Amino acid sequence: MDTDKSKTGSESRIASWESKQSITSELRTRNSQLGILFLSVLICAPSVATILFLSGCSSAPSQANIELRKQNQDLQETVQTLQTQNAGLQAQVVALQRNWPTTQILPESRLEQLFTCHGLYIGRGTGFLSAQQSANGKATLSVFVVPTDQQGQPLKAAGSFTVELFDLTLPPSKNLLEKWEFPRDAAMTHFLGNFLLYTYVFNCPLQVTPPPDSMLLLQVTFVDALTGRRFTTIKQLQFNLPPSTLPQSR
């Protein structure tokens, strides 16, 4: 269902992009028409002036003079109409640009040609740290997680993360023990990239005391900032901190 929503969102943004392209194309056509009409006015105006000068001694304007005046007036009215339409199209382009996302979504056929996020992997370093081991002085869940590409290779992809810890021995309405959220900008500061590690690392302080040696379920959800796709992966963890380091129960 999340994939369908993502596709629907992508299709909507693609439709908006196509609309913007159509308006931009029409705007260019209008500008071209304006240029031709202005040129026509510039050509016709001297001719009208010349005829008026030559026929100045005549008591009544000639038929050619009347026709040229009519053509000149028609051209000026057409130019005014196109200028009004041009202003309207420019306003539409500005409105589209204001509402346009900072990252334009490519069609699926184009995205498949790039290295993009196709999965999520929880690394082996994931587990519980005692208060003595943790930098924040609290019992902590340390999560090593990284997006993966089409080939299953680690990929430094930007996006938001949600980390959840469940005790499935409890009723469904009460089995969520902890939840931590990391928006895109905050998540970017948690990425480690060197010759030893290439992963996101999230240290999540525990506020709830799970039963000793209990089997818990870790769930991590990632929303890719580029494609809008949502990925979820799970891992079983055993809570086995020494009793002296356990956080206080609520």
3-state SS, one letter per residue, for 214-237: EEEEEEEEEEECCCCCEEEEEEEE
Give the pLDDT score at 219: 97
CA 193/CA 138 separation, integer angstroms: 25
Give the pLDDT score at 100: 55
- CA distances to 59, 62, 72, 150, 218 from 67, rounded to whole Å, are 17, 9, 9, 71, 84
Domain ranges of the chain: 2-105, 119-241
Q: Tell me the CATH number for domain 2-105.
A: 1.10.287
Please write the tens of the pLDDT for every residue from 179-208. Answer: 999 999 999 999 999 888 999 999 999 998
Does the CA dihedral 197-158-183-211 come out positive or negative? negative
CA 110/CA 136 separation, integer angstroms: 44
119-241 matches 2-105 in CATH topology? no
Please write the tens of the pLDDT for every residue from 72-105. Answer: 888 888 887 787 777 767 766 766 656 655 555 6
CA 43/CA 30 separation, integer angstroms: 20
**Structure token digits, residue 174:** 């009460």
Would you place residue 233 in the very low, low, confident or very high pLDDT band (cuts 50, 70, 90)?
Answer: very high
Most confident range, picked from 66-70, 91-95, 108-112: 66-70
**Structure token digits, residue 54:** 């030559």
* More reliable by pLDDT, 63 or 146: 146
Supply the mean pLDDT for the chain. Answer: 78
Please check whether the domain covering 119-241 is classified as CATH 1.10.8.60.
no
For the segment 155-162, the average pLDDT, to the nearest whole number, is 96
Q: Say yes or no to pLDDT of 250 above 50.
A: no
CA 122/CA 144 separation, integer angstroms: 6
